[in-house]
Structures are given as C-alpha cells and as structure tokens.
Structure 1
C-alpha cells in the first residue's frame, strides 16, 4: 500500500527517509568521502580526517541519522557530541567550510538526488558547518 502522506523534511524522520533511510545515508556518506579523497580540490579536507576511514564514515552516518530525525546512533555508539567542540582542534576557515559543503553537493549530484533534496539539505548543513567554523576561528584566532 502506497503512503498517501509522503515524509516531510524536518518532521520526524522525514529528512532521513528522503535520502533513502539509513542505507541511502550510508551510500551518500561513502560517496562523500570517496569524492573528498579522490578530488584534488577536496583532498586537503580529506587529509584532516583520521586514518580510519571506516570509523569516520560510521561516525558521520551515525551523527546524520539523528540529525535527520532518525535514530540517534551517534549517542548510542559514541556518547554525547558537540559538533563544534569535536572539530575545535582543526583550523576551519570559510575555505574548508565551502569545501565540505561542495563535496556534499557533489555526492548528492553523483547519486542522482532530486533538486528538492539538495535545496533542503545543503542550507541546513550550512548551519552546523558555520558553527564549526566560528568555534575554530575563536580558538585559533583566525
């Protein structure tokens, strides 16, 4: 039986459903890091990450699951998180923030997500990315 009320972004797990549930999110994050690793303009961002890519992927999938209204997997697996504080040791400027968002846009494009998904998701992701940049700037006086 078809769902006559499709999920709505920002309501319950609507955003997670729009990206294809946890399996779709896993594919998105894997594409995101593969693009980051293999695209010269994003490679400096990739090099900021720990060597254990499998763990890095799992942490982002786990975080985004809860952020998109699904199960709060990050807290379950890794404990509480403050995104800006978790990245505060890194120097994140407008350049790194833009690289991260552009890399996510490239992953969404590669996987063929519709424009409405990108139009909703990328501006929403800009908020935590900006908070990470602000905390980094305050800590590193950038």
Structure 2
C-alpha cells in the first residue's frame, strides 16, 4: 500500500497552523485589553487624586510628634491627610486626620500629633478629598 503525499502549501494551512494563528490573535487581543485596563486604572488613580501631601520633617517628644507637612491640592478642594507615628518597636503610638479647608493650592503647616509614647516616625498614610 502506498500513501500519497500532497504537495506542501497547495491546499492551505494545516489544522495545527490554523489553531496557532487563532491563539496568537486571541493572545494579542487579550494582551492589548490588559494594557488598556491597567492604563485606565493608573490614569484615574493619578488624575483622581485631587489632594496629595509630603512629610518634610518631624520632631518627636515623649507625648507628641511635630510634623512639617506640605499639601498640594486643587483650588477649592477640601480634604484631610492621615498621619501616624510608631514607636521604636513598630507599635502605633499615634494617628490623626488633619483637615485642609484652605483655598490655596499649596498648604505648608507644622502639625502636632499627640502620642501615647515616644514616637520615632511620622508617616503620611494618605490624603483624601471630600
């Protein structure tokens, strides 16, 4: 019994080649959709944040931490920033929200965070618009 070998390329792609081509197309579409989704969330996280802050410096005592905080926000936006302090062993010794209702786009303030023990840090947890 003899088997007939058909000329290659004459009768279209094989089933494996068609499946590989479909998988490549599906992978490209899903990859593009993932990139668009990540870009969308990244843009809305950055653009939607209408108030941000930065701890410039801090000084600790036994019962309080003085925090020099710089806040940048859109004009007319009100909100608050949350600051916490931790002891040397990592335990939280103070946390408070500080409101910023000024009309200015840049607010530079020295705030006092009361603590239950000596704080060794002043950490800005985040700022949120109302």
Interval of TM-score (by shorter of Structure 1 and Structure 2): under 0.3
Whose strand fraction is larger, Structure 1's or Structure 2's?
2
- TM-score (normalised: structure 1): 0.21
Whose helix fraction is larger, Structure 1's or Structure 2's?
1
Larger Rg: 2
- TM-score (normalised: structure 2): 0.23
